[in-house]
Amino acid sequence: MAMTDSEKAARAERALLAGAAPDVAAALKGWLARLGNERRLSAKTREAYARDMTGFLGHLARHLDAQPDLAAFQALAPRDVRAVIAAKRAEGIEPRTQMRFLAAARSFGRHLEREGLGKVGALTAVRAPRIARTLPRPISVADAKRLADPDLRAGEARETWVLQRDAAVLALLYGSGLRISEALGLRRRDMPAPGEGDHITVTGKGGKTRMVPVLPNVLQAIAGYVQACPFALELGGPLFVGEKGGPLSPRIVQRVVEQLRGALGLPDSATPHALRHSFATHLLARGGDLRSIQELLGHASLSTTQIYAAVDASALMASWRAAHPRAHLGERGGKGG
C-alpha cells in the first residue's frame, strides 16, 4: 500500500533526527514541530524541508569533517555555507534545489535564534543561487480539451470506468486550475452533483482553502465516473480512487498524460501541471484580471500570478510576427515607418 504524505513526512523527519548530533537533533525536533503546528505547512512541504535539511547537514559534516553540533553552527562562516552550496553544484544539482537547501537551513537558523540557541549569521550572509525565471508552457485550448476526452483512449484495454476517471481528473485540472494534489485530495462529499452546485472548496499549499468554480461539463464527467466506479465511494473518502479502490496516485495521472501526449504529438512540457498553467493563461487571454486569477489559483502573492501576463504577451507577439505583413521587414533589410 502506498504511503500517505504524513507517513512520508514522518519517515523523512526520523531520518533527519537520526543523523544529527544530540543537541542539534533536539533543536530540529522543535523546528519541525513549529513547521507543522505554527506555520501549518502541509505534510508534503514538511517532508521536503526535512529532506533538504538532511542533505544540508550531510554536506556540512563532510566539509567540517565532523557532525556539526550547535556550537559548530554558531561558528559557521560564509565560506562554510558557500562550500555546501558548491558541493551541490558540483553534483549537478540545479540552482532551484540549491536554493531549497539554503532556505531550509535559514529556516532552522531562525528557529535557533528565536529559541535563544544562538545566531547563525553566515546563513543570511550568503546570497541565494540565481534562478532563471522560465515562462510556463501552456497547452492550446484544443489540446487541453482533447486530453480530457475519454474517446481518445477508446481502443485501450482498460476498464471503462478507469478511462472515465482519468478524463474526469484531467477535465478538473484544466477546468478549475487545480494542482494535482488538490484534485486527488478531494473527498467524495466535496463535489456537488450536476445541477446542485457550481463550485468546490479545495485545500492548497499550507493548508489554505479557497473556492473555485467547476464547469457543468466537468461535473457531468465526474458524475459519470462516480456512477461507473465499481467501488462504493464513501462521502468522507477520496473522490478519485485507483483500480484497487485506494486513493489515486499522482503518478498514475502523470503516466496517463505521458501516453496521451505521445498520441497527440505534444511536447514533454505537456504535463498535468501544464493544464493548470493553461487554465490561467487562457483566462487571461480572454479578459480575466490578474487579481481574480490569483484567487482562483491560490497564489499567496500577485507577483507569482503575473508570470502569466508574460506568457500572454509572448503569445501575442508570436501571433503578430506570424501574421503582420510588415513584421519581418527588419529581417529583410527594410525600414519600418
The set of catalytic residues is 179, 205, 273, 276, 299, 308
Rg of the Cα atoms in the chain: 24
Look up residue 294 and give its DSSP letter: H
- Under a CB-based contact definition with an 8 Å cutoff, are residues 281 and 287 in contact? no
Question: For residue 82, what is the enclosing H or E element?
Answer: helix 78-90
* Sign of torsion over alpha carbons 73, 41, 290, 185: positive
Strands (E), the chain: 199-203, 209-213
Q: Rounded to whole angstroms, what are the CA distances from 60 to 55, 76, 84, 87? A: 8, 10, 6, 10
CB atoms within 10 A of CB 209: 9
Cα–Cα distance for residue pair 145/151, rounded to 1 Å:
11
- Let me know the angle formed at the C-alpha of 29 by 82 and 104, rounded to the nearest 5 degrees: 30
Question: Half-sphere exposure of residue 249, counting CA atoms within 13 Å on the CB side?
Answer: 11
Report the alpha-carbon distance of residue 87 to residue 269 in Å, rounded: 29
**φ, ψ for residue 209 (rounded to 5)?**
-105, 150
Backbone dihedral region of 75: left (phi > 0), alpha (psi from -120 to 50 degrees) or beta? alpha
Dihedrals φ, ψ of 50, to 5°?
Answer: -65, -45
226: its cell numbers: 462516480
Tell me the three state secondary structure of residue 300: coil
